[in-house]
Structures are given as structure tokens and as C-alpha cells.
Structure 1
């Protein structure tokens, strides 16, 4: 990948990052970001490493280092060190009503030809009864586990 963003740290930024990396009182992400910025510094006090070498040394992907450099150049030091919040929260697809209907179904008699309900049978029946449009077996399993419902 082409080196698009050039990190040049001022003396105060460099001191701040060095203190952050040495203090041991920051989160792991901040520590890694601070070390990465120090290693990528192409200013008068720095000796820049290649992105691949920085990523390898810190145990992150080169894409992470590129994104960090981009945030530093475009938004500044504080934005580069802070973790970005998700754009929007996930929509809740399966709520308590789903759990209740699933539990009721799991406690009912098994279909003809079967001795007991299986997770796959429950998932298929939920779709067949139009309780949900689609559901994975793992979602059914997690829901049953959450409600302490055993199929045995």
C-alpha cells in the first residue's frame, strides 16, 4: 500500500506520546497507537519505520497503522488516540417476546417422528410459524442457553 499519510510530530506531541507509552496507565489500544505514531514519526526527531515493520512489531495489521496515520493527519493527536464509537447501535432483532415464544415451543411436544426437539428443528419451526423471517441455529441455541432451557 502506498504511504499516503506522513506523520510529523512536534516536540510536545512526541513527549506526550512517550509519556503515554512509558507510564503504563493507559489502555492497551492507546499504548499501541502511541507506539505506532512514535515509530511512524517522520519529523526532525524521528526515524520513520515502514508501515509493515511497525505493524509487525506491535502485533497489529498494516491497515490499522494506515488508519491511525490517517486519523492523526486529518483529525489530530487526540482523535488518533481515541477509539471511534460505532456509527449506529445494532438493531435488536430478537427480544424477550422471541425468547418467550421459543421457550414455549421448546417445552411443547416434539413433532411426529421425533422424540425431542433439536435446535435445527426449532429454528425451522420458528420460520414455518412465521415468528421470524429467518433464524440461525446458533441464535436459537444462545436464546435457549440464556433462558436456561434444556432440550433433553
Structure 2
């Protein structure tokens, strides 16, 4: 919708067709989840010298395929209540 507010409809549509939208998870910190996955990728797949880009692509693809087949998920357990305790200096105390 924002594109149509700024551009003429034809231009907005042209730009919109080039965009690839990725929805982020509704729960947990998606950035932390991505960082965790990248850490696992490095430890399980990339902690060695890889001679060329083709080998890298094959290794990462095989790793990704294995993760998907095994349906690896992030078990996010850091809830808002936990955050309020751990980050009490940041969260305001409710006033009654």
C-alpha cells in the first residue's frame, strides 16, 4: 500500500512485482532465531576450509536439506514475563 501512496499505480505495481515479501515470526525474536541458525550452520558445516564456491553451495544446500527433512524448529522459551525480570532496568514498573 505504501508504494501506491508514493508512486503512480503503474510504477507502484512495477516495483511491487520485484519485491519478495518474507513474513517474520509472530513470537520470539526472529533475529535471534536467525543468528542461532547461522551459528549452527557454521559449527556443523563451515568450520573448515572450503576450496571454492561450488563446494560451498553444495555443502550449505545439503545442510539445509537435512535441517528441513528433520523439521528442526526453534524452541523459543524467553517469554515477556522472563524479559521483565531479566531486563527490569529497561521495562517500566506498572503503576497502580
Query: TM over 0.5, yes or no?
Result: no
Q: State the TM-score, normalizing by the size of structure 2.
A: 0.32
Q: State the TM-score, normalizing by the size of structure 1.
A: 0.23
Query: Which structure has the bigger radius of gyration?
Result: 1
